[in-house]
Amino acid sequence: MTTGRDVLELSPVLPVVVLDRAEDAVPVAESLLAGGIRAIELTLRTPVALEAIARVAAEVPGIVVGAGTVTRPEHARQAADAGASFLVTPGATDSVLDGAFATGLPFLPGAATVSEAMRLAERGLDTLKFFPAEASGGAPALSAIAGPLPDLRFCPTGGITPASAPRYLALPNVGCVGGTWLTPKDALAARDYARIEALAKEASTLER
């Protein structure tokens, strides 16, 4: 795992996971893996996130674990120290980019406009998160961006569903899509791992 492109190759869907209990991390990761998903983005939105990343990194070697919601430069180092193999940021400030670069990990910085994407390309980044995807014009917007910026690849995230995912995955500049739908809040609360595995199975067989 050395580049953002490698992260996009892992699975057609990158599950974005918000955990309230660190002890759920391993069974959730194992359920996703059993469904054929080879990457998991654990968001730093909850206090248990770093512990969750550490557990998955140590106990589920078959899945590549990354940290999402990296919104401050120090998050990047904390996630790397916990064992994250990649980072995802919803947007990109200079200081967050500096923090992410300093870890040496591959990362997907968020961009929602052509100018943001161009600024990131100027810093040598060719693999980005398109966020918030649906609210920023969805698949038609990304398709238009491929015209002037054909060398960039995206992981669109934000409002994507099993129904809309194929429209993104059909685009030449999309490597995978991100979304929370594989780990619904109620399934996590109920520890319904069979449901998570079934959702993962469906997602892992999407064509791209």
Ligand X SMILES: O=C(O)C(=O)C[C@H](O)[C@H](O)COP(=O)(O)O
CB 34 → ligand X: shortest distance, Å?
A: 21
Instruction: Write the CA distances from 166 to 91, 158, 208, integer angstroms.
Output: 24, 15, 8
- With residues binned 3-state (H G I as helix, E B as strand, rest as coil), the percentages for the chain, rounded to 5, are 45, 15, 40
Give which of 200, 202, 206 is closest to 39, Cα–Cα.
Answer: 200
Catalytic-labelled residue, pool 129, 185, 201, 202: 129
Give which of 64, 29, 49, 74 is closest to 193, Cα–Cα.
Answer: 29
Name the DSSP letter for residue 68. E
| Residue 41 annotated among the catalytic residues of the structure | yes
Distance CA 148, CA 74 (A): 34
CB 91 → ligand X: shortest distance, Å?
A: 8
118 or 135: whose CB is closer to ligand X?
A: 135
Residue of the chain from 17, 24, 25, 43 that contacts ligand X (CB under 6 A): 43
Kindly indicate which of the ranges 79-87, 92-100, 119-127, 172-180 contains the residues binding ligand X, using the contact rule CB under 6 A: 172-180
CB 5 → ligand X: shortest distance, Å?
A: 19
Contact positions with ligand X (CB under 6 A) in 73-102 = 90
Contact positions with ligand X (CB under 6 A) in 106-165 = 131, 157-160
35 or 68: whose CB is closer to ligand X?
A: 68
Instruction: Write the CA distances from 73 to 66, 99, 107, 125, 164, integer angstroms.
Output: 16, 4, 13, 17, 33
31 or 69: whose CB is closer to ligand X?
A: 69
CB 147 → ligand X: shortest distance, Å?
A: 25
147 or 175: whose CB is closer to ligand X?
A: 175
Distance of CA 58 to the CA centre of its chain: 20
Q: Which residues are catalytic?
A: 41, 129
Question: Which residues are at the interface with ligand X (CB under 6 A)?
Answer: 16, 43, 45, 68-69, 90, 131, 157-160, 178-180
